[in-house]
Structure 1
Amino acid sequence: MNKRNPFKWPVTLIAWFICSWCTPLGAAEVNWQSLSADQQQLLGAYEAGWADLPEEKQRQLLRGVERYQAMSPDEQAQAKARLKRWQQLPEAEKLRLKERFQKFRDLPPEERQRLRRAHQRFKQLSPQQRERLKRRWQRMSPEQRQNMRERLRNMTPEQREAFKEKMQQRRKQ
């Protein structure tokens, strides 16, 4: 029985988006009939052309489906929302974001980890704090921004913590 799933296309796109950065496994091409019913349902949009897809693309899609299936319902909903936002972006913005992501991937692992930690700290700020920080950043000239980046990049963790405390005290005044 072939039930139509109204989420098949969005889920397929989510799977593709999630795994678009994956690397190939180097195994043989995957036969459509060897996929599970769930995998076939999620990748249904690719059924007609599955055999024509490069093996690497098939593997990427399968890894994306596996990641999607391992997500909680809340995570799946978030992934769908992110995909919807992505789809609504103008092509120029998508290209800009892809280039930024590639630059991030090209960074040394320590630098990527430092940026992830900084992003986590940013996410932990209250919405009001994030908004104030964004406005302050936007008011800076490009030179001021570059100077701030270099200054923060050259700080030790202890200096960064002291700087953070100093900024928090300033906000309270």
Structure 2
Amino acid sequence: MTSFPRLFAAAALLAGLCSPASQASPPSDPRWEQLGVEQQQVLAPLAGEWNRYSAEKKQHLLDIVPRYRALPAEQKQRVQQNLKAWSELTPQQRHEIRGNWDKLQKLPPDQRQQVIQRLRQQNASSAQ
């Protein structure tokens, strides 16, 4: 099973990738079948759940695609692994991670950086 620090780091990575991007707007609530080939390739780990997501969540996830193109291969692989790990979480686990993310965002910037650094260190040591 994937460790909590690793999943938390995955959530942080995905949040950074999901910041707003300027691009032509696809349908506001596209079904999986309406996505382009590249969008489906990038978001493939979420295919089974895609049509159940809200329009807002879909748009948020689609914002990953343009940034994904520019990532080095290693980071692309990590994004795919993180999307897969997220799709395999239970609703309760997702709720807990979102709650922790909200708490993290409320911390002062210097304290937030310390927590992020500690999580990265924990993640690095658990990966060895």
Larger radius of gyration: 1
Q: Quick one: structure 1 residues 21 and 92, their matched pair in 2 at CA, closer, same or farther if it must change by over 3 Å?
A: farther
Aligned to 2:95: 95
Q: Distance in 2 between matches of 1:97 and 1:66?
A: 25
Counterpart of 2:14 in structure 1: which amino acid? I
Q: Distance in 2 between matches of 1:85 and 1:28?
A: 27
Q: Deviation string for 1:6-63 (max 9, x for gaps)?
A: xxxxxxxxxxx935984557x797256xxxxxx8323357xxx9xxx56x964x3453
Counterpart of 1:43 in structure 2: which amino acid? Q
Over the matched positions of the two proteins, sequence identity in percent amounts to: 24
Q: What TM-score do the two structures reach when normalised by structure 2?
A: 0.53
Map residues 6-85 of structure 1 onto 2, 5 A cutoff: 18=14, 22=18, 24=20, 30=25, 40-43=36-39, 53=55, 58=59, 60-85=60-85
Q: Deviation string for 1:36-92 (max 9, x for gaps)?
A: xxx8323357xxx9xxx56x964x345311221121222111211122121111111
Q: Distance in 2 between matches of 1:77 and 1:65?
A: 13
SS across alignment from 1:43? helix
CA contact (8 A) 1:19 1:61 kept: no
Does residue 117 in structure 1 map to residue 117 in structure 2? yes
Alignment root-mean-square deviation, CA = 3.8
Q: Which runs of 5+ in 2 are unaligned?
A: 1-12, 28-34, 41-46
CA contact (8 A) 2:104 2:112 kept: yes
Offset, 1:118: 2.1
- Structure with larger RCO (C-alpha < 8 A, sep 6+): 2
Q: Which runs of 5+ in 1 are unaligned?
A: 1-16, 33-38, 129-173
CA contact (8 A) 2:68 2:76 kept: yes
